[in-house]
């Protein structure tokens, strides 16, 4: 099978790796800069401590009458840090080192003058100035940056390479999910997506996709069932109607014969009308939410019996209703359609005969003394009152769908004394509210 192009995954990989590279470069760059600033501050603190120490030593030599200028020069050049000094007594310069051209410090304490770090103190009528060029501090900082920046860049590149490999490894489940989605076919049995074993966000995405696919599969199955039922129930009456018309037009007929043909055509068009209503109802049940409202199941049953009473009288059917008021929450239009279908099925199987509609609490029962349900129909209903397969035709499928939509179940029975019993068990009003909540 052709592999799904993963350019979008590669783009995500590049973006994530580049983000890691930028973050790592910024972090290491900030670390180098802060370290450089800290190094300069530390160098200045060390230099200030050195200048303070040399100023103290110069003051000590001034107080020692036996000390010579040469000894003072040796003190200033002790170690690797050479410090320049100047001693003034009032307006007269008493002593000055001649190593470098040190500027004058006009203020007491530490100050930066012309690229020098200066310290000026006054003691015993003398002004002592010591200083050292800041070029040494700057050179130390520059050397540190020259050494640290290449190292930081090298670490950034290594970190980016590692991030690239880690991101590529972590995105592999997404590539597997993408390829699984590309070859997905809801008609196959194995629809399990990969990456369900990963305990992270990718597994969450995979489970969400899996849930969505299963819902789409159910929708597809309902659509396929709807089309199958529609084609099955429409094919026979259309063929019969077409044959009826062809026979009527095959030769000249009398007015009474044409009237008889038209009556048969009218009967078939009534069947078409009921079938179209059932198909629309089934489509509504499968695609829309019910309009659940408090209602009296007894009133719904009584109204259905009133609608069918004229037809029952014409067919010599004894139609009766019994029971008492019962509060439920349901869609009145859908429940009326459920009763209409049950009564139509009972009338077709019972002519003449008796049909009883009973309301017992939240249970609706329709009984007849007709031919009873075939074994094939009874086998398609399980003990829980659900359809095992979709082989009932539109009428009974509408009954099962409406009952399931109301959280109920349907039981089909063939009575020993003859006839059929359909029991629809619905939820009480408070049970429906709890289920909705």
pLDDT tens digits, one per residue of 318-335: 999 998 888 888 888 888
Give the pairing of strands 84-89 and 126-133. antiparallel
| Average pLDDT in the chain | 78
Residue with tokens 């009873």: 372
The Cα–Cα gap between 250 and 312 comes to 35
For the domain covering 184-286, report its CATH number: 1.10.287
pTM of full prediction above 0.75: no
Integer-rounded Cα Rg, in Å, for the chain is 49
Taken as a whole, the chain contains a residue count of 437
Q: Is it true that domain 289-436 has CATH number 3.30.565.10?
A: yes
Tens digit of pLDDT for each residue in 118-165?
999 988 778 889 888 988 888 888 888 888 888 888 988 898 888 888
Query: Per DSSP, what are the bridge partners of residue 381?
Result: 387
Instruction: Give the CA angle between residues 85, 131, 124 to the nearest 5°.
Output: 50
| Candidate ranges 214-218, 302-306, 327-331, 391-395; pick with highest mean pLDDT | 302-306
Tens digit of pLDDT for each residue in 50-86?
889 888 888 888 776 665 666 777 777 766 568 888 8
Phi and psi, residue 421, nearest 5°: -135, 130
Domain ranges of the chain: 7-138, 184-286, 289-436
Tens digit of pLDDT for each residue in 90-127?
777 777 887 788 888 888 999 999 989 999 998 877 88
- Asked if residue 427 has pLDDT above 60, the reply is yes
Question: E strands along 268-375, which residues?
Answer: 293-296, 317-323, 327-330, 353-360, 363-368
Element (DSSP H or E) covering residue 127: strand 126-133
- Asked if residue 358 has pLDDT above 90, the reply is yes
Is the CB of residue 423 less than 8 Å from the CB of residue 347? no
Identical topology for domains 184-286 and 289-436:
no
- Asked if residue 388 has pLDDT above 50, the reply is no
Is the CB of residue 23 less than 8 Å from the CB of residue 85? no
- Asked if residue 282 has pLDDT above 80, the reply is no
């Amino acid at each position: 099978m052709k592999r799904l192009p993963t350019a979008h995954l590669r783009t995500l990989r590049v973006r994530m790796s580049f983000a890691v590279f930028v973050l790592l470069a910024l972090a290491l760059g900030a670390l180098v800069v802060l370290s450089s600033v800290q190094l300069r501050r530390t160098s200045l603190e060390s230099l200030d401590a050195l200048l303070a120490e040399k100023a103290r030593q110069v003051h000590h030599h001034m107080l020692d009458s036996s000390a010579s200028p040469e000894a003072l020069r040796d003190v200033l050049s002790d170690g690797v840090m050479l410090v320049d000094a100047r001693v003034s007594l009032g307006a007269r310069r008493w002593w000055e080192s001649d190593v470098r051209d040190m500027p004058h410090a006009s203020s007491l304490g530490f100050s930066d003058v012309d690229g020098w770090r200066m310290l000026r103190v006054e003691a015993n009528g003398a002004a002592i100035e010591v200083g050292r060029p800041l070029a040494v501090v700057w050179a130390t900082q520059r050397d540190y940056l020259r050494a640290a920046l290449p190292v930081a860049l090298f670490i950034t590149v290594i970190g980016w390479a590692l991030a690239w490999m880690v991101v590529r490894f972590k995105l592999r489940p997404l590539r597997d999910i993408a390829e699984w989605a590309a070859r997905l076919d809801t008609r196959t049995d194995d629809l399990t997506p990969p990456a369900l074993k990963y305990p992270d966000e990718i597994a969450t995405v995979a489970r969400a996709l899996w849930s969505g696919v299963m819902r789409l599969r159910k929708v597809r199955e309902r659509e396929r069932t709807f089309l199958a039922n529609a084609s099955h129930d429409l094919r026979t009456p259309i063929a019969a109607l077409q044959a009826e018309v062809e026979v009527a037009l095959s030769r000249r007929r009398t007015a009474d014969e044409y009237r008889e043909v038209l009556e048969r055509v009218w009967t078939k068009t009534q069947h078409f009308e009921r079938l179209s209503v059932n198909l629309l109802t089934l489509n509504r049940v499968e695609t829309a939410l019910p309009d659940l409202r408090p209602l009296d199941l007894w009133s719904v049953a009584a109204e259905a019996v009133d609608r069918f009473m004229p037809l029952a009288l014409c067919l010599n059917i004894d139609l009766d209703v019994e029971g008492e008021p019962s509060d439920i929450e349901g869609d009145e239009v859908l429940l009326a359609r459920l009763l209409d279908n049950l009564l139509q099925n009972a009338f077709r199987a019972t002519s003449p005969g008796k049909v009883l509609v009973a309301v017992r609490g939240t249970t609706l029962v329709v009984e007849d003394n007709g031919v009873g349900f075939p074994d094939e129909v009874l086998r398609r209903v399980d003990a829980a009152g659900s359809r095992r397969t979709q082989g009932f035709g539109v009428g009974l499928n509408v009954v099962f769908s409406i009952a399931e939509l109301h959280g109920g179940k349907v039981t089909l029975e063939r009575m020993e004394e003859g006839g059929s019993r359909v029991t629809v068990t619905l939820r009480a009003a408070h049970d429906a509210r709890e289920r909705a909540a």
